[in-house]
Structure 1
Amino acid sequence: MRLLLAIAAGALALATGAVLVVVLTGGSGGDVGGAPLDGGPYTGSEAPPGIALPSFSLVDEQGRPVSDGDLRGRVAVVTFLDAQCRDACPVIGEITARAVDRLAPDERQRVTVVGITVDPAEDTPAEVAGFLRRHRAQGRISYLVGDEDELTRVWRDFGVLSVAVSGDDDIHSAPVRIYGPDGEWLATLNAGADLTVDALVHDVRVALGERPEGG
């Protein structure tokens, strides 16, 4: 049954232009990779051209409003999280937090990492705080929450499967997408596949207009 749900979720994500990650235990990705394999500038999969960051207006884990407009002018790393997830989300939390720490101070000022909940019913302030603390991601990932009605539109616009639909904390879309300062979707990395600290740092630097060493 779990496999059938995963296959169905993958079909839904692909139909909407999203990339589904049904994550694996283990294979979390060490600091390997970080160089494109296909001759393109990004380590991750390059996005189809001309797709813009969807509009949204949510609040972060401290109740501060965050909208798509707040990300304009910066490179935005956008992913989707469930604090109760034991598969993809811990990997994403650890890797993105470490990647932020790897960036130089001037680079960090031009990059924002946001995780949008896919489980608003269970992602309470305490659960979210615990997730960020466990993965040393406080101040590195803005964990965005809201009510299910507004999030349903956000999930639809991003083309992702939520836990609210799958009914399983470990079955949801979990792409790590990179958007440029103009809001264009540039690339996607996936936990258990090509998401590593090196790869994320490399692709963020490309999005910043830099030429990473070895790139």
Structure 2
Amino acid sequence: MADPPVPERPGPGIPPRLLYASVVACLVALGVVAVLALARPTDPVQRLADGVIGPRTAFFGATRGGRPSPPFRLRDQRGRITTLDELRGQPVVLTFLFSTCKDTCPILARQIAGALDRLDEPIPAIAISVDPKGDTPSSAQRFLNRMRLGDRMRYLLGSREQLASVWRAYGIQPQGAAFDHSAYVVLLDDRGRQQVSFPADKVTDDGLLHDIRVLQARPTTGGSP
């Protein structure tokens, strides 16, 4: 009778020390990947400068495509004439308010104040009245003082006829007896073009600050739109 076949012995396998070293190496590699991911710039301004993201995705607010802004010539709460031409050369914060507002307007104003607080260099901030009959120089100044914007924002006033063309150009509905006004913050670039807007329910001082810095980081062009 033939002898039964002798089973083959299994190979030597992977030594425990080598297996342990391989596992450790894998864990270290995963840790390095995680650290690099966390170290990747999260500030979109820096990511824009590094080429990580493109300029079309750099803003937190809704883009307005650089549409031209209409020229205007209006007096502020202190009687000073303000024109769009004199504001060119740097970004501008623009919003639409009425001085007796108790809800939306204070929200917009406080977020603007918070963003301006953290800028290295001040930039122009403009409020345009949406209530020509109710807004007066004194009521406008009181509102700005309450919002910590007394010396940092110009509140532009005028008649309905003077303001109507500005409202239309920015797509703003003025305050009415049966409806509320359109509540937006708009950022203009250094040429006065409309670049970004934030509705009242989306605006934050962080978002405004970020988008202002994006505009400040762009090369200054000057000139007319």
Q: C-alpha separation between the residues in 1 aligned to 2:190 and 2:94? A: 13
Match of 2:111?
95
Q: Deviations over 1:54-86 (max 9, x none)?
A: 111101110000011111112011110011112
Larger Rg: 2
For structure 1, list consecutive stretches of 5 or more residues without a partner in the other structure. Answer: 1-33, 211-215
Does 2:88 match 1:72? yes
Spell out the pairing of 1:160-199 with structure 2 (5 A cutoff).
Answer: 160-163=172-175, 166-168=176-178, 171-193=180-202, 195-199=203-207
Q: Percent identity?
A: 35
For structure 2, list consecutive stretches of 5 or more residues without a partner in the other structure. Answer: 1-42, 46-53, 219-225
Match of 1:28?
none
Q: C-alpha separation between the residues in 1 aligned to 2:207 and 2:158? A: 30
Q: C-alpha separation between the residues in 2 aligned to 1:124 and 1:183? A: 26
Tell me the secondary structure at the aligned position of residue 80 of structure 1: strand
Match of 1:60?
76
CA contact (8 A) 1:80 1:118 kept: yes
Moved over 6 A (4+): none
Q: C-alpha separation between the residues in 1 aligned to 2:204 and 2:113? A: 11
Match of 1:157?
169
Tell me the secondary structure at the aligned position of residue 114 of structure 1: strand
Which amino acid in 1 is paired with 2:216? L
Which amino acid in 1 is paired with 2:206? D
Match of 2:147?
135
Match of 1:201?
209
Q: Which has the higher contact order (CA 8 A, sep 6+)?
A: 1
Q: TM-score, normalised by structure 2?
A: 0.69
Shift of 1:157: 2.1
Shift of 1:50: 4.2
Q: 1:46 aligns with which of 63, 67, 87?
A: 63
Tell me the secondary structure at the aligned position of residue 208 of structure 1: helix
Q: C-alpha separation between the residues in 2 aligned to 1:50 and 1:192? A: 23
CA contact (8 A) 1:79 1:177 kept: yes
Count of aligned pairs:
167
Shift of 1:167: 2.0
Tell me the secondary structure at the aligned position of residue 185 of structure 2: strand
CA contact (8 A) 2:87 2:124 kept: yes
CA contact (8 A) 2:77 2:138 kept: no
Shift of 1:94: 1.0
Q: CA RMSD in A?
A: 2.0
Q: TM-score, normalised by structure 1?
A: 0.72
Which amino acid in 2 is paired with 1:75? P
Tell me the secondary structure at the aligned position of residue 82 of structure 2: strand
CA contact (8 A) 2:66 2:195 kept: no
